[in-house]
Structure 1
Amino acid sequence: MTLDPDQTGPIRIGESNEWPATVVGAHRLREDLTVVRLIGEFVPFAPGQSVEVRTPQHPNMVRRLYPALPPSLDGKLEFHIRTVPGGWCSGSMVADTRTGDEWKIRNPAGWLAVDEDATEVVMIADGIGLAPLRAQLLDLSRREQPPRTHLFVAGRYPRDLYAADMLALLGNEMPWLTIIPVVLDEEDPDWADDWYESCRVEIGFHPEELIQGTLPEVVSRFTPLDHQNILVCGAAATVHNTVEMLVATGTPPELIRYEGF
Protein backbone atom coordinates (compact mmCIF):
# COMPACT_ATOMS: atom_id res chain seq x y z
CA MET A 1 0.00 0.00 0.00
CA THR A 2 1.35 3.43 -0.97
CA LEU A 3 0.24 6.71 0.55
CA ASP A 4 1.08 10.23 -0.60
CA PRO A 5 2.35 12.09 2.50
CA ASP A 6 0.81 15.32 1.23
CA GLN A 7 -2.36 13.61 0.05
CA THR A 8 -5.22 16.09 0.25
CA GLY A 9 -8.75 16.25 -1.02
CA PRO A 10 -12.28 17.43 -0.31
CA ILE A 11 -13.88 16.39 2.96
CA ARG A 12 -16.74 13.97 2.48
CA ILE A 13 -19.00 14.69 5.44
CA GLY A 14 -20.58 11.61 6.99
CA GLU A 15 -18.10 9.15 5.50
CA SER A 16 -16.88 8.11 8.97
CA ASN A 17 -16.85 9.13 12.61
CA GLU A 18 -14.71 12.12 13.52
CA TRP A 19 -12.94 12.64 16.85
CA PRO A 20 -11.69 16.03 18.11
CA ALA A 21 -8.27 16.47 19.71
CA THR A 22 -6.41 19.52 21.05
CA VAL A 23 -2.72 20.17 20.47
CA VAL A 24 -0.91 20.26 23.83
CA GLY A 25 2.60 20.45 22.40
CA ALA A 26 4.33 21.05 19.06
CA HIS A 27 8.00 20.23 19.47
CA ARG A 28 10.18 21.33 16.55
CA LEU A 29 13.11 18.92 16.47
CA ARG A 30 14.58 19.78 13.07
CA GLU A 31 14.18 22.46 10.43
CA ASP A 32 11.89 20.06 8.56
CA LEU A 33 10.39 18.01 11.39
CA THR A 34 8.08 18.43 14.35
CA VAL A 35 6.47 16.13 16.91
CA VAL A 36 2.87 17.04 17.72
CA ARG A 37 1.12 15.78 20.87
CA LEU A 38 -2.63 16.02 21.40
CA ILE A 39 -5.31 15.03 23.89
CA GLY A 40 -8.92 14.45 22.92
CA GLU A 41 -11.55 11.81 22.51
CA PHE A 42 -10.53 8.16 22.33
CA VAL A 43 -9.74 7.21 18.71
CA PRO A 44 -10.34 3.48 17.97
CA PHE A 45 -7.39 2.75 15.69
CA ALA A 46 -5.03 -0.22 15.82
CA PRO A 47 -1.29 0.21 16.48
CA GLY A 48 0.44 0.71 13.13
CA GLN A 49 -2.58 2.21 11.39
CA SER A 50 -2.79 5.71 9.95
CA VAL A 51 -5.59 8.23 10.39
CA GLU A 52 -6.92 11.19 8.44
CA VAL A 53 -6.32 14.58 10.06
CA ARG A 54 -7.86 18.02 9.57
CA THR A 55 -6.13 21.07 11.04
CA PRO A 56 -7.32 24.67 11.51
CA GLN A 57 -4.66 25.89 9.09
CA HIS A 58 -6.26 23.78 6.30
CA PRO A 59 -9.83 23.03 7.43
CA ASN A 60 -10.96 21.77 4.03
CA MET A 61 -8.03 19.43 3.48
CA VAL A 62 -7.21 16.02 4.91
CA ARG A 63 -3.79 14.51 5.45
CA ARG A 64 -3.03 10.95 6.48
CA LEU A 65 -0.65 10.58 9.44
CA TYR A 66 0.59 7.68 11.58
CA PRO A 67 0.07 7.84 15.36
CA ALA A 68 3.34 7.20 17.21
CA LEU A 69 1.49 5.94 20.30
CA PRO A 70 -0.87 2.97 20.60
CA PRO A 71 -4.55 3.76 21.24
CA SER A 72 -5.05 5.50 24.57
CA LEU A 73 -8.25 5.54 26.60
CA ASP A 74 -7.28 8.97 27.89
CA GLY A 75 -7.11 10.30 24.33
CA LYS A 76 -3.36 10.86 23.99
CA LEU A 77 -2.05 11.09 20.43
CA GLU A 78 1.37 11.82 18.95
CA PHE A 79 2.35 12.43 15.33
CA HIS A 80 5.78 12.86 13.69
CA ILE A 81 5.53 15.25 10.73
CA ARG A 82 8.24 16.06 8.19
CA THR A 83 8.15 18.68 5.47
CA VAL A 84 7.84 17.09 2.03
CA PRO A 85 9.68 19.02 -0.75
CA GLY A 86 7.00 20.95 -2.59
CA GLY A 87 4.38 19.89 -0.04
CA TRP A 88 2.85 23.12 1.23
CA CYS A 89 0.45 21.30 3.57
CA SER A 90 3.17 19.38 5.41
CA GLY A 91 5.39 22.47 5.56
CA SER A 92 2.60 24.43 7.20
CA MET A 93 1.94 21.66 9.73
CA VAL A 94 5.61 21.65 10.72
CA ALA A 95 5.96 25.44 10.96
CA ASP A 96 2.53 26.65 12.05
CA THR A 97 1.06 24.08 14.46
CA ARG A 98 0.46 25.70 17.85
CA THR A 99 -0.67 24.63 21.31
CA GLY A 100 -4.45 24.92 21.50
CA ASP A 101 -5.10 24.07 17.83
CA GLU A 102 -8.14 21.84 17.41
CA TRP A 103 -7.61 18.87 15.11
CA LYS A 104 -10.19 16.44 13.76
CA ILE A 105 -9.23 12.75 13.49
CA ARG A 106 -11.04 10.20 11.35
CA ASN A 107 -10.91 7.07 9.19
CA PRO A 108 -8.24 4.74 10.69
CA ALA A 109 -6.77 2.43 8.05
CA GLY A 110 -3.76 0.24 7.36
CA TRP A 111 -2.30 -3.19 7.99
CA LEU A 112 1.03 -2.78 9.81
CA ALA A 113 0.17 -5.36 12.44
CA VAL A 114 2.14 -7.93 14.44
CA ASP A 115 0.60 -11.38 14.73
CA GLU A 116 -0.52 -12.39 18.22
CA ASP A 117 1.59 -15.55 18.07
CA ALA A 118 4.73 -13.88 16.65
CA THR A 119 7.94 -14.91 18.39
CA GLU A 120 10.30 -12.72 16.33
CA VAL A 121 9.69 -9.39 14.61
CA VAL A 122 11.80 -7.25 12.26
CA MET A 123 10.82 -3.59 11.91
CA ILE A 124 12.38 -1.42 9.23
CA ALA A 125 11.84 2.35 9.56
CA ASP A 126 12.92 4.99 7.07
CA GLY A 127 12.72 8.49 8.57
CA ILE A 128 9.34 9.23 10.14
CA GLY A 129 8.26 5.74 9.15
CA LEU A 130 9.40 5.15 12.71
CA ALA A 131 6.10 6.57 14.06
CA PRO A 132 3.79 3.58 13.50
CA LEU A 133 6.54 1.15 14.44
CA ARG A 134 7.07 2.95 17.72
CA ALA A 135 3.33 2.56 18.37
CA GLN A 136 3.75 -1.15 17.70
CA LEU A 137 6.74 -1.40 20.05
CA LEU A 138 4.84 0.21 22.90
CA ASP A 139 1.90 -2.09 22.24
CA LEU A 140 4.16 -5.16 22.20
CA SER A 141 5.62 -4.11 25.55
CA ARG A 142 2.20 -4.78 27.10
CA ARG A 143 2.38 -8.46 26.19
CA GLU A 144 3.36 -10.93 28.88
CA GLN A 145 6.12 -12.25 26.60
CA PRO A 146 6.98 -9.69 23.91
CA PRO A 147 8.52 -11.17 20.75
CA ARG A 148 12.21 -10.73 20.10
CA THR A 149 12.31 -7.57 17.95
CA HIS A 150 14.96 -5.97 15.75
CA LEU A 151 14.33 -2.37 14.71
CA PHE A 152 16.28 -0.85 11.81
CA VAL A 153 15.96 2.96 11.89
CA ALA A 154 17.46 4.96 9.04
CA GLY A 155 18.33 8.50 7.99
CA ARG A 156 20.69 10.16 5.53
CA TYR A 157 22.83 11.75 8.27
CA PRO A 158 23.28 10.96 11.97
CA ARG A 159 21.19 13.98 12.94
CA ASP A 160 18.32 12.62 10.83
CA LEU A 161 17.91 9.97 13.50
CA TYR A 162 15.69 12.44 15.29
CA ALA A 163 14.45 10.01 17.97
CA ALA A 164 17.85 8.66 19.00
CA ASP A 165 17.35 9.64 22.65
CA MET A 166 13.89 8.04 22.84
CA LEU A 167 15.12 4.88 21.11
CA ALA A 168 18.11 4.62 23.43
CA LEU A 169 15.77 4.76 26.41
CA LEU A 170 13.45 2.16 24.88
CA GLY A 171 16.40 -0.11 24.19
CA ASN A 172 17.44 0.09 27.83
CA GLU A 173 13.93 -0.60 29.10
CA MET A 174 13.06 -3.42 26.67
CA PRO A 175 15.57 -6.29 26.81
CA TRP A 176 13.77 -8.02 23.93
CA LEU A 177 14.46 -5.05 21.60
CA THR A 178 17.60 -4.53 19.47
CA ILE A 179 17.97 -1.22 17.64
CA ILE A 180 20.11 -0.97 14.50
CA PRO A 181 20.76 2.66 13.39
CA VAL A 182 21.56 3.11 9.69
CA VAL A 183 22.96 6.22 7.96
CA LEU A 184 23.93 6.87 4.37
CA ASP A 185 26.62 9.37 5.40
CA GLU A 186 28.52 9.05 8.67
CA GLU A 187 29.05 12.81 9.04
CA ASP A 188 26.39 15.49 9.35
CA PRO A 189 26.32 18.13 6.59
CA ASP A 190 28.22 21.38 7.16
CA TRP A 191 25.09 23.55 7.13
CA ALA A 192 23.58 24.30 10.52
CA ASP A 193 20.14 23.21 11.66
CA ASP A 194 19.33 25.59 14.50
CA TRP A 195 16.45 23.42 15.70
CA TYR A 196 18.75 20.44 16.02
CA GLU A 197 21.34 22.50 17.89
CA SER A 198 18.73 23.84 20.32
CA CYS A 199 17.45 20.38 21.29
CA ARG A 200 20.67 18.38 21.10
CA VAL A 201 20.98 15.86 23.96
CA GLU A 202 23.75 13.57 25.12
CA ILE A 203 21.56 10.46 25.10
CA GLY A 204 21.52 8.70 21.74
CA PHE A 205 23.59 6.62 19.35
CA HIS A 206 27.37 6.66 19.51
CA PRO A 207 29.19 6.99 16.17
CA GLU A 208 30.53 3.44 16.44
CA GLU A 209 26.97 2.11 16.66
CA LEU A 210 25.99 3.53 13.27
CA ILE A 211 25.97 1.25 10.24
CA GLN A 212 26.71 3.04 6.97
CA GLY A 213 24.85 2.21 3.77
CA THR A 214 21.44 2.41 2.18
CA LEU A 215 18.64 0.85 4.18
CA PRO A 216 18.08 -2.02 1.69
CA GLU A 217 21.83 -2.74 1.60
CA VAL A 218 22.15 -2.91 5.37
CA VAL A 219 19.02 -5.03 5.83
CA SER A 220 20.26 -7.43 3.12
CA ARG A 221 23.13 -8.44 5.42
CA PHE A 222 20.57 -10.10 7.68
CA THR A 223 18.56 -11.94 5.02
CA PRO A 224 16.90 -14.23 4.23
CA LEU A 225 14.25 -13.76 6.88
CA ASP A 226 12.19 -16.91 6.77
CA HIS A 227 9.91 -16.85 9.83
CA GLN A 228 9.79 -13.34 11.28
CA ASN A 229 6.93 -10.85 11.10
CA ILE A 230 8.39 -8.03 8.99
CA LEU A 231 7.07 -4.45 9.01
CA VAL A 232 8.48 -1.79 6.66
CA CYS A 233 7.48 1.89 6.69
CA GLY A 234 8.91 5.09 5.25
CA ALA A 235 9.41 6.95 1.99
CA ALA A 236 7.73 5.09 -0.87
CA ALA A 237 10.90 4.58 -2.92
CA THR A 238 12.90 3.27 0.02
CA VAL A 239 10.08 0.97 1.10
CA HIS A 240 9.72 -0.37 -2.45
CA ASN A 241 13.46 -1.02 -2.78
CA THR A 242 13.63 -2.66 0.65
CA VAL A 243 10.70 -4.98 -0.03
CA GLU A 244 12.16 -5.89 -3.44
CA MET A 245 15.50 -6.71 -1.80
CA LEU A 246 13.86 -8.84 0.90
CA VAL A 247 11.97 -10.91 -1.66
CA ALA A 248 14.98 -11.19 -4.00
CA THR A 249 17.13 -12.54 -1.15
CA GLY A 250 14.68 -15.25 -0.17
CA THR A 251 12.21 -13.68 2.26
CA PRO A 252 8.67 -14.98 1.62
CA PRO A 253 6.45 -12.06 0.53
CA GLU A 254 3.64 -13.17 2.82
CA LEU A 255 5.81 -12.35 5.83
CA ILE A 256 6.11 -8.67 4.84
CA ARG A 257 3.70 -5.86 5.62
CA TYR A 258 4.58 -2.39 4.40
CA GLU A 259 3.41 1.19 4.04
CA GLY A 260 5.07 3.85 1.89
CA PHE A 261 4.38 7.59 1.80
Structure 2
Amino acid sequence: MATAGTASGAAGSGAPPIPAFAAPGRAAPSLRGKVDWQPATVVEVRRETPNAVTVRLALPVWHAHVAGQHYMLRLTAADGYTAQRHYSVGSAPDDEGHVEFTVDRVPGGEVSGFVHDVARVGDVLEVRGPLGGFFAWPGDRPALLVAGGSGLVPLMAMVRHRRRRRSTVPLRLVACARTPEDLLYAGELAPLPGEEHTVLYSRAAPAGYPHPVGRLDARAIAPHAAAVLADERYEVFVCGSTGFAEHAGRLLTAAGLPTSRIRVERFG
Protein backbone atom coordinates (compact mmCIF):
# COMPACT_ATOMS: atom_id res chain seq x y z
CA MET A 1 0.00 0.00 0.00
CA ALA A 2 1.26 3.51 -0.61
CA THR A 3 0.51 6.88 0.88
CA ALA A 4 1.92 10.29 0.18
CA GLY A 5 5.62 10.02 0.91
CA THR A 6 5.62 6.32 1.86
CA ALA A 7 5.25 3.02 0.12
CA SER A 8 5.21 -0.63 1.12
CA GLY A 9 5.43 -3.99 -0.60
CA ALA A 10 2.12 -3.99 -2.41
CA ALA A 11 3.83 -5.57 -5.36
CA GLY A 12 4.35 -8.70 -3.38
CA SER A 13 6.50 -8.47 -0.25
CA GLY A 14 4.16 -7.47 2.55
CA ALA A 15 7.00 -5.38 3.99
CA PRO A 16 6.30 -2.51 6.43
CA PRO A 17 6.17 1.06 5.12
CA ILE A 18 9.48 2.63 4.16
CA PRO A 19 10.26 6.11 2.78
CA ALA A 20 9.38 6.56 -0.88
CA PHE A 21 10.97 8.79 -3.48
CA ALA A 22 7.82 10.79 -4.13
CA ALA A 23 5.98 13.90 -3.07
CA PRO A 24 2.27 14.32 -2.29
CA GLY A 25 -0.01 14.70 -5.27
CA ARG A 26 -3.38 13.74 -6.68
CA ALA A 27 -4.64 10.57 -5.05
CA ALA A 28 -7.56 8.33 -5.86
CA PRO A 29 -9.82 7.52 -2.91
CA SER A 30 -8.99 4.42 -0.90
CA LEU A 31 -11.70 2.02 0.23
CA ARG A 32 -9.79 1.28 3.46
CA GLY A 33 -12.28 0.91 6.27
CA LYS A 34 -15.12 0.22 3.83
CA VAL A 35 -14.15 -3.26 2.68
CA ASP A 36 -14.16 -6.49 4.67
CA TRP A 37 -12.34 -9.77 4.30
CA GLN A 38 -14.20 -12.03 1.90
CA PRO A 39 -13.74 -15.49 0.39
CA ALA A 40 -12.44 -15.46 -3.17
CA THR A 41 -12.48 -18.53 -5.39
CA VAL A 42 -9.48 -19.42 -7.54
CA VAL A 43 -10.69 -19.75 -11.14
CA GLU A 44 -7.31 -19.87 -12.90
CA VAL A 45 -3.64 -20.31 -12.09
CA ARG A 46 -1.25 -19.65 -14.96
CA ARG A 47 2.51 -19.46 -15.13
CA GLU A 48 3.98 -16.21 -16.40
CA THR A 49 7.71 -16.97 -15.97
CA PRO A 50 9.71 -19.72 -14.24
CA ASN A 51 9.47 -17.64 -11.06
CA ALA A 52 6.03 -16.03 -11.29
CA VAL A 53 2.43 -17.21 -11.48
CA THR A 54 -0.82 -15.32 -11.92
CA VAL A 55 -3.80 -16.33 -9.83
CA ARG A 56 -7.25 -15.19 -10.98
CA LEU A 57 -9.92 -14.88 -8.30
CA ALA A 58 -13.70 -14.54 -8.45
CA LEU A 59 -15.08 -12.24 -5.76
CA PRO A 60 -18.59 -12.49 -4.28
CA VAL A 61 -18.50 -8.76 -3.44
CA TRP A 62 -16.67 -6.77 -6.11
CA HIS A 63 -15.46 -3.21 -5.77
CA ALA A 64 -14.03 -1.66 -8.92
CA HIS A 65 -10.40 -0.83 -8.21
CA VAL A 66 -8.29 1.96 -9.67
CA ALA A 67 -5.28 0.72 -11.63
CA GLY A 68 -2.37 0.70 -9.19
CA GLN A 69 -4.36 -0.33 -6.10
CA HIS A 70 -3.75 -3.55 -4.19
CA TYR A 71 -5.40 -6.22 -2.04
CA MET A 72 -4.40 -8.08 1.08
CA LEU A 73 -4.39 -11.87 0.76
CA ARG A 74 -4.66 -13.97 3.96
CA LEU A 75 -4.07 -17.66 4.58
CA THR A 76 -5.29 -19.34 7.75
CA ALA A 77 -3.94 -22.69 8.97
CA ALA A 78 -5.99 -25.31 10.81
CA ASP A 79 -4.49 -24.19 14.12
CA GLY A 80 -5.55 -20.60 13.53
CA TYR A 81 -2.13 -19.29 12.44
CA THR A 82 -2.45 -16.65 9.72
CA ALA A 83 -0.11 -15.17 7.14
CA GLN A 84 -1.02 -12.24 4.94
CA ARG A 85 0.65 -10.23 2.21
CA HIS A 86 -0.14 -7.24 0.00
CA TYR A 87 -0.45 -7.93 -3.74
CA SER A 88 -0.97 -5.38 -6.47
CA VAL A 89 -3.82 -6.00 -8.87
CA GLY A 90 -2.56 -6.80 -12.36
CA SER A 91 -5.96 -6.96 -14.05
CA ALA A 92 -7.86 -4.00 -15.46
CA PRO A 93 -10.54 -2.28 -13.35
CA ASP A 94 -13.07 -3.25 -16.02
CA ASP A 95 -12.67 -6.98 -15.28
CA GLU A 96 -15.89 -7.07 -13.29
CA GLY A 97 -16.15 -9.68 -10.56
CA HIS A 98 -12.51 -10.77 -10.81
CA VAL A 99 -9.02 -9.68 -9.81
CA GLU A 100 -5.63 -11.09 -10.77
CA PHE A 101 -2.41 -11.10 -8.76
CA THR A 102 0.95 -12.06 -10.22
CA VAL A 103 3.11 -13.53 -7.48
CA ASP A 104 6.88 -13.97 -7.50
CA ARG A 105 8.22 -16.97 -5.64
CA VAL A 106 9.99 -15.71 -2.51
CA PRO A 107 12.43 -18.21 -0.95
CA GLY A 108 10.78 -19.39 2.25
CA GLY A 109 7.71 -17.25 1.57
CA GLU A 110 4.61 -18.66 3.22
CA VAL A 111 2.05 -17.00 0.97
CA SER A 112 4.02 -17.04 -2.29
CA GLY A 113 4.95 -20.67 -1.70
CA PHE A 114 1.28 -21.56 -1.27
CA VAL A 115 0.26 -19.72 -4.43
CA HIS A 116 3.01 -21.41 -6.45
CA ASP A 117 2.84 -24.95 -5.08
CA VAL A 118 -0.58 -25.50 -3.53
CA ALA A 119 -3.27 -23.23 -4.98
CA ARG A 120 -5.59 -24.91 -7.45
CA VAL A 121 -8.77 -23.96 -9.28
CA GLY A 122 -11.65 -24.17 -6.82
CA ASP A 123 -9.62 -23.23 -3.76
CA VAL A 124 -10.96 -20.42 -1.61
CA LEU A 125 -8.65 -17.66 -0.36
CA GLU A 126 -9.41 -14.66 1.86
CA VAL A 127 -8.86 -11.22 0.39
CA ARG A 128 -9.51 -7.63 1.38
CA GLY A 129 -9.48 -4.66 -0.94
CA PRO A 130 -9.02 -2.70 -3.06
CA LEU A 131 -6.74 -0.54 -0.94
CA GLY A 132 -4.43 2.42 -1.49
CA GLY A 133 -4.88 5.64 -3.38
CA PHE A 134 -1.51 7.32 -3.78
CA PHE A 135 -0.16 4.94 -6.42
CA ALA A 136 -3.27 4.92 -8.58
CA TRP A 137 -3.94 6.02 -12.15
CA PRO A 138 -7.57 6.65 -13.14
CA GLY A 139 -6.54 6.84 -16.79
CA ASP A 140 -7.46 10.44 -17.34
CA ARG A 141 -4.02 11.89 -18.13
CA PRO A 142 -0.78 10.80 -19.83
CA ALA A 143 1.53 8.57 -17.80
CA LEU A 144 5.08 7.28 -17.86
CA LEU A 145 5.42 3.88 -16.21
CA VAL A 146 8.83 2.59 -15.10
CA ALA A 147 8.96 -1.01 -13.86
CA GLY A 148 11.64 -3.24 -12.46
CA GLY A 149 10.90 -6.99 -12.36
CA SER A 150 7.57 -7.75 -10.69
CA GLY A 151 7.06 -4.01 -10.30
CA LEU A 152 5.42 -4.35 -13.68
CA VAL A 153 2.28 -5.86 -12.09
CA PRO A 154 0.40 -2.68 -11.04
CA LEU A 155 1.68 -0.85 -14.10
CA MET A 156 0.28 -3.59 -16.34
CA ALA A 157 -3.13 -2.90 -14.80
CA MET A 158 -2.73 0.65 -16.09
CA VAL A 159 -1.80 -0.54 -19.59
CA ARG A 160 -4.74 -2.95 -19.64
CA HIS A 161 -7.08 -0.27 -18.33
CA ARG A 162 -6.14 2.07 -21.18
CA ARG A 163 -6.65 -0.68 -23.74
CA ARG A 164 -9.98 -1.84 -22.33
CA ARG A 165 -11.29 1.71 -22.49
CA ARG A 166 -9.82 2.26 -25.96
CA SER A 167 -8.36 5.43 -24.57
CA THR A 168 -6.26 7.82 -26.63
CA VAL A 169 -4.39 9.13 -23.58
CA PRO A 170 -0.62 8.78 -24.26
CA LEU A 171 1.10 6.07 -22.24
CA ARG A 172 4.81 5.26 -22.03
CA LEU A 173 6.28 2.15 -20.43
CA VAL A 174 9.85 1.25 -19.54
CA ALA A 175 9.93 -2.38 -18.39
CA CYS A 176 13.17 -3.80 -17.00
CA ALA A 177 13.89 -7.51 -16.49
CA ARG A 178 16.99 -9.61 -16.00
CA THR A 179 16.45 -11.83 -19.06
CA PRO A 180 13.68 -12.47 -21.61
CA GLU A 181 12.63 -15.49 -19.52
CA ASP A 182 12.03 -13.19 -16.54
CA LEU A 183 9.87 -10.66 -18.39
CA LEU A 184 6.26 -10.66 -17.20
CA TYR A 185 3.42 -10.38 -19.72
CA ALA A 186 5.80 -10.53 -22.68
CA GLY A 187 2.98 -11.32 -25.08
CA GLU A 188 1.17 -8.08 -24.19
CA LEU A 189 4.05 -5.64 -24.38
CA ALA A 190 3.96 -4.84 -28.08
CA PRO A 191 2.84 -1.19 -28.04
CA LEU A 192 -0.52 -0.19 -29.48
CA PRO A 193 -1.29 3.24 -31.01
CA GLY A 194 -0.63 5.96 -28.48
CA GLU A 195 1.78 3.79 -26.50
CA GLU A 196 5.58 3.90 -26.43
CA HIS A 197 7.18 0.85 -24.82
CA THR A 198 10.83 0.12 -24.08
CA VAL A 199 11.92 -3.26 -22.71
CA LEU A 200 15.39 -3.47 -21.20
CA TYR A 201 17.39 -6.48 -20.00
CA SER A 202 20.08 -6.26 -17.35
CA ARG A 203 21.76 -9.66 -17.80
CA ALA A 204 20.94 -11.17 -21.19
CA ALA A 205 18.98 -10.14 -24.27
CA PRO A 206 17.96 -11.86 -27.53
CA ALA A 207 20.48 -11.75 -30.34
CA GLY A 208 20.28 -8.46 -32.23
CA TYR A 209 18.24 -6.74 -29.54
CA PRO A 210 18.36 -2.95 -30.19
CA HIS A 211 19.06 -1.91 -26.59
CA PRO A 212 22.31 -2.61 -24.73
CA VAL A 213 22.27 -5.13 -21.89
CA GLY A 214 22.69 -3.51 -18.52
CA ARG A 215 21.06 -1.49 -15.79
CA LEU A 216 18.53 1.22 -16.61
CA ASP A 217 20.52 4.35 -17.45
CA ALA A 218 20.11 8.00 -18.37
CA ARG A 219 20.26 7.28 -22.11
CA ALA A 220 17.33 4.87 -21.93
CA ILE A 221 15.21 7.16 -19.80
CA ALA A 222 16.01 10.35 -21.74
CA PRO A 223 13.35 10.21 -24.51
CA HIS A 224 10.63 9.35 -22.02
CA ALA A 225 11.70 12.08 -19.60
CA ALA A 226 11.69 14.57 -22.47
CA ALA A 227 8.11 13.66 -23.32
CA VAL A 228 7.07 14.16 -19.71
CA LEU A 229 8.79 17.54 -19.52
CA ALA A 230 7.09 18.63 -22.73
CA ASP A 231 3.60 17.88 -21.40
CA GLU A 232 2.74 19.00 -17.88
CA ARG A 233 -0.22 16.62 -17.75
CA TYR A 234 2.07 13.59 -17.42
CA GLU A 235 2.30 11.61 -14.19
CA VAL A 236 5.18 9.20 -13.55
CA PHE A 237 4.78 5.86 -11.78
CA VAL A 238 7.84 3.85 -10.68
CA CYS A 239 7.53 0.37 -9.20
CA GLY A 240 10.19 -2.18 -8.28
CA SER A 241 12.60 -3.21 -5.58
CA THR A 242 13.97 -0.58 -3.22
CA GLY A 243 17.25 -0.41 -5.12
CA PHE A 244 15.56 -0.15 -8.50
CA ALA A 245 13.07 2.48 -7.33
CA GLU A 246 15.76 4.69 -5.85
CA HIS A 247 17.95 4.34 -8.95
CA ALA A 248 15.08 5.12 -11.33
CA GLY A 249 14.04 8.09 -9.18
CA ARG A 250 17.52 9.55 -9.33
CA LEU A 251 17.62 9.17 -13.12
CA LEU A 252 14.26 10.89 -13.51
CA THR A 253 15.13 13.85 -11.30
CA ALA A 254 18.55 14.16 -12.95
CA ALA A 255 16.65 14.44 -16.25
CA GLY A 256 14.78 17.43 -14.83
CA LEU A 257 11.52 15.90 -13.56
CA PRO A 258 10.22 17.40 -10.30
CA THR A 259 9.51 14.92 -7.50
CA SER A 260 5.94 16.23 -7.34
CA ARG A 261 5.22 14.40 -10.59
CA ILE A 262 6.77 11.08 -9.54
CA ARG A 263 4.92 8.38 -7.58
CA VAL A 264 6.87 5.41 -6.28
CA GLU A 265 5.85 1.96 -5.05
CA ARG A 266 8.70 -0.19 -3.80
CA PHE A 267 9.04 -3.62 -2.25
CA GLY A 268 11.76 -5.68 -0.61
% identical aligned pairs: 26
Equivalent residue, structure 2, for 1:176: 194
Contact 2:149 2:182 survives alignment (8 Å):
yes
Structure-2 change in CA distance of 1:83 and 1:217 (3 Å): farther
Equivalent residue, structure 2, for 1:212: 213
Q: CA deviation at 1:40?
A: 1.8
Structure-2 change in CA distance of 1:153 and 1:30 (3 Å): same
Q: Which runs of 5+ in 2 are unaligned?
A: 1-5, 17-32
Contact 1:28 1:34 survives alignment (8 Å):
yes
Q: Does 1:111 align with 2:116?
A: no
Equivalent residue, structure 2, for 1:100: 122
Equivalent residue, structure 1, for 2:91: 69
Equivalent residue, structure 1, for 2:24: none
Cα deviation digits, residues 201-256 of structure 1 (max 9, x gap): xxxxx852555221244543333542321111121220121112211221111111
State how far apart, in whole Å, the 2-side matches of 1:183 and 1:34 are: 20
Q: CA deviation at 1:31?
A: 3.3
Equivalent residue, structure 2, for 1:43: 63
Contact 1:38 1:77 survives alignment (8 Å):
yes
Say what the alpha-carbon RMSD is for the aligned residues: 2.8
Equivalent residue, structure 1, for 2:39: 20
Q: Which runs of 5+ in 1 are unaligned?
A: 189-205
Contact 2:179 2:202 survives alignment (8 Å):
yes
Secondary structure class of the residue paired with 2:209: helix
Structure 1 length-normalised TM: 0.78
Structure 2 length-normalised TM: 0.76
Contact 1:39 1:75 survives alignment (8 Å):
yes
- Output the amino acid matched with 1:177: E
Which protein, 1 or 2, shows the higher relative CO under an 8 Å CA cutoff with sep ≥ 6? 2
Structure-2 change in CA distance of 1:116 and 1:24 (3 Å): closer
Structure 1, 248-257 or 210-219: larger mean CA deviation:
210-219
Contact 2:48 2:185 survives alignment (8 Å):
no
Cα deviation digits, residues 134-155 of structure 1 (max 9, x gap): 1112222355642111111111
State how far apart, in whole Å, the 1-side matches of 2:238 and 2:170 are: 17
Q: CA deviation at 1:27?
A: 1.4
Of residues 133, 148, 151 in structure 1, which corresponds to 2:170? 148
- Output the amino acid matched with 1:112: F
Q: CA deviation at 1:68?
A: 0.8
Q: CA deviation at 1:61?
A: 1.7
Secondary structure class of the residue paired with 2:7: coil
Equivalent residue, structure 2, for 1:251: 257
Structure 1, 159-168 or 207-216: larger mean CA deviation:
207-216
Q: CA deviation at 1:117?
A: 4.8
